[in-house]
């Protein structure tokens, strides 16, 4: 019985650790893409305005097309590319994992601790999923849910 509880604790701990690694990786990807988009949106109009190339040349037309596409992508995905919430999500997951590990080592009833933190982890994971689907609307729903709980 004790080995199955230990296996359960280890499984939840590994899931949380894996999620932290994925969140950290995606935060880096989003930040890199966001910075790249911003540089392109600053550089392309400056090149055309200074006159290094004309908008009538193939290079100028290509730069205008790139600026239009990158501008559209930047506006569409800005909540994810420039989000401070991504850092907060990583920190929340790390804190949840640390709290789980502390309570699991000190608890008399490890099964109850696993149930508690498994439910908390599932809620956080579901909230992040809603946000990815709904964008800003997801953030507003989460805020409304949190205020209604209090």
pLDDT digits (tens, 9 = 90+) for 39-65: 888 888 888 888 888 878 888 889 889
Assess contact for 74 and 41: CB atoms under 8 A. Answer: yes
**Rounded mean pLDDT, 123-135:** 66
Examine the pLDDT at 143 and tell me if it is beyond 50: yes
Assess contact for 100 and 17: CB atoms under 8 A. Answer: no
The token pair that represents 126 in the structure block: 């579901």
CB atoms inside a 10 Å sphere around CB 71: 15
Give the pLDDT of residue 80. Answer: 65
Examine the pLDDT at 123 and tell me if it is beyond 70: yes
User: Could you tell me which residue, 134 or 121, shows the higher pLDDT?
Assistant: 121
Q: Considering the entire predicted model, what is its pTM?
A: 0.56
**Rounded mean pLDDT, 100-105:** 83
CA distances from 111 to 8, 21, 49, 93 (A): 8, 25, 66, 20
Examine the pLDDT at 76 and tell me if it is beyond 80: no
């Amino acid at each position: 019985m004790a080995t199955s509880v230990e296996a359960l604790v280890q499984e939840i701990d590994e899931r949380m650790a894996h999620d932290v690694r994925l969140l950290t990786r995606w935060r880096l990807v989003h930040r890199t893409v966001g910075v790249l988009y911003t540089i392109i949106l600053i550089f392309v109009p400056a090149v055309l305005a200074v006159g290094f190339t004309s908008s009538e040349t193939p290079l100028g037309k290509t730069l205008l097309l790139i600026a239009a596409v990158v501008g559209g992508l930047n506006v569409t995905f800005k909540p994810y590319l420039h989000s401070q919430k991504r850092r907060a999500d990583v920190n929340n997951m790390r804190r949840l994992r640390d709290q789980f590990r502390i309570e699991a080592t000190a608890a008399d009833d490890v099964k109850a601790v696993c149930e508690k933190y498994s439910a908390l982890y599932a809620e956080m994971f579901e909230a992040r999923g809603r946000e990815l689907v709904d964008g800003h609307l997801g953030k507003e729903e989460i805020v409304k849910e949190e205020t209604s709980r209090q």
